[in-house]
């Protein structure tokens, strides 16, 4: 009897593995992902089946259903806000692909200030929170209950006590270690909390591989922040392991703030099922800097491959240079090919990555790509002055971008991300100067993979096999 039960269980397991393999072949976002899942499921069903349940979803269906609500939000923001279209002469860059991806138009009347590293970033954010008069919308992937987290908590409570409406959101995976008491203290002060870990049911449990990686702060619909920093003392350079933490945030004004606000509204509606559109400022004011800008939000709820397409559009548009800073370099085939082709065209292609390791698998996998891109004329720089976590790029002298998107498959296909794009020479010059300083604190990679230490030489090809799900 026991033997029959075991045989039946094994049969069911293999049948399930075959069904999942067929589904993976039909729905995977990339050929590599499809092949990887099919091989894994058929060869190791005991491990592959449960992993596919949690990691094998290819579209964030629950978010797509909730997004139907945001169609009204998009129309609302277009009617509330005066999206001033740029003058034709001020847009030498073809922004159409980015507008299609964002479902929003480029607008003029925007301003941007680079915030380099943690102190500048959180000094500016805390100053803005202290000045808030009507509302604060705040979202971070990681929030820790350390000195910086407690400082943020006290700032938000003080704002709530003076009558400011505060809405606070985190990611359930990124902030897994955040104590419930931290959130309870915020709630006790009258702050609204959207905590995705409160969502229950199998649909949510089996979509844990998706992460909301956005870091957003919006003050009164007038000032916005986006970038690579999370809330933790390591982002201030206080980690013994990482030392100096090199990161970049952006302080924004103008219409792009309302675009960022739109994305927060969508995230909030999914996590908290509350409609914020009629409670927020959509008119706002313009910045004297008068830059052309667009907020491009991407994620697995989109019908198309928006994350990869955003990078692809920037790379193919480059005529003179594209410099990209990212903590991870695990591109898909299309982005890799675009980078190689740009280098072959004579474009100055530079990739800036950290020497210090935070996640070993993507760090190792990157070495399997470096030789291919360098053989086409691209240059790879490895940052050595601590850990580099910024997500930024500059194209020619006309486009600069700062946000949350890494140059890897997870950011392209599994994370909800956002990048602020500024089509302006002044913004490009600011990012140019910042990256030149970073190159000074880096060395150019010259050794090929066969010349690397053994653990890299043999580990990187194996790590690359996991690229579709890193």
* Residues with catalytic roles: 213, 215, 220, 389, 391, 396
CB 361 within 8 A of CB 453: no
Q: Which two tokens stand for residue 425?
A: 């020479």
Q: Is 27 exposed, middle or buried (0-12, 13-18, 19+ CB in 10 A)?
A: middle
Q: Which two tokens stand for residue 132?
A: 């808030």
Q: Is 201 exposed, middle or buried (0-12, 13-18, 19+ CB in 10 A)?
A: exposed
> What is d(CA 338, CA 376) in angstroms, rounded to the nearest whole number?
11
> What is d(CA 7, CA 197) in angstroms, rounded to the nearest whole number?
37
Half-sphere exposure of 332 (CA within 13 A, CB side): 22
Q: How far lies 274's CA from each of 64, 66, 232, 253, in Å?
A: 16, 11, 28, 25
């Amino acid at each position: 009897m026991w033997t029959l039960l075991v045989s039946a269980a094994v049969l069911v397991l293999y049948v399930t593995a075959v069904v999942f393999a067929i589904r993976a072949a039909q729905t995977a976002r990339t050929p590599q992902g499809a092949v990887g899942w099919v091989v894994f499921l058929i060869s190791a069903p005991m491990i592959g089946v449960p992993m596919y349940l949690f990691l094998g979803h290819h579209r964030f269906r629950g978010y797509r259903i909730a997004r139907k609500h945001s169609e009204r939000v998009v129309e609302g923001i277009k009617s509330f806000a005066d999206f001033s279209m740029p003058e034709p002469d001020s847009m030498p860059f073809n922004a159409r692909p980015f507008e299609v991806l964002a479902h929003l138009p480029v607008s003029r009347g925007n301003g941007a200030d680079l915030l380099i590293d943690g102190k500048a970033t959180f000094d500016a954010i805390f100053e803005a929170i202290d000045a808030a008069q009507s509302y604060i919308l705040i979202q971070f992937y990681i929030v820790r209950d350390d000195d910086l987290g407690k400082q943020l908590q006290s700032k938000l409570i003080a704002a709530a006590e003076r009558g400011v409406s505060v809405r606070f959101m985190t990611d359930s995976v990124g902030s897994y270690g955040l104590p419930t008491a931290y959130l309870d203290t915020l709630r006790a002060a009258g702050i609204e909390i959207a905590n995705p870990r409160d969502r229950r049911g199998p649909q949510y449990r089996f979509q844990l591989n998706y992460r909301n990686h956005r870091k957003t702060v919006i003050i009164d619909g007038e000032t916005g922040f986006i970038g690579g920093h999370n809330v933790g003392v390591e982002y201030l350079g206080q980690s013994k392991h990482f030392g100096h933490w090199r990161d970049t945030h952006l302080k924004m004004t103008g219409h792009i703030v309302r675009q960022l606000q739109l994305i927060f509204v969508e995230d909030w509606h999914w996590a908290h099922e509350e409609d914020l559109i009629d409670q927020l400022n959509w008119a706002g004011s313009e910045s004297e800097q008068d830059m052309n800008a667009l907020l491009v939000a991407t994620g697995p709820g989109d019908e198309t491959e928006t994350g990869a397409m955003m990078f692809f559009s920037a790379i193919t548009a480059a005529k003179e240079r594209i410099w990209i800073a990212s903590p991870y370099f695990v591109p898909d085939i299309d982005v890799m090919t675009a980078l190689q082709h740009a280098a072959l065209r004579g474009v100055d292609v530079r990739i800036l990555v950290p020497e210090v390791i935070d996640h070993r698998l993507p760090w190792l996998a990157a070495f399997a790509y470096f030789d291919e891109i360098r053989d086409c004329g691209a240059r790879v720089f490895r940052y050595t002055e601590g850990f580099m976590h910024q997500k930024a790029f500059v194209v020619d002298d006309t486009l600069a971008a700062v946000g949350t998107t890494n140059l890897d498959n997870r950011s392209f296909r599994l994370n909800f991300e956002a990048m602020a794009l500024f089509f302006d020479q002044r913004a490009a010059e600011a990012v140019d100067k910042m990256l030149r300083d970073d190159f000074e604190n880096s060395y150019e990679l010259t050794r090929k993979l066969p010349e690397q230490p053994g653990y890299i030489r043999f580990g990187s090809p194996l790590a690359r096999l996991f690229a579709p799900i890193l």
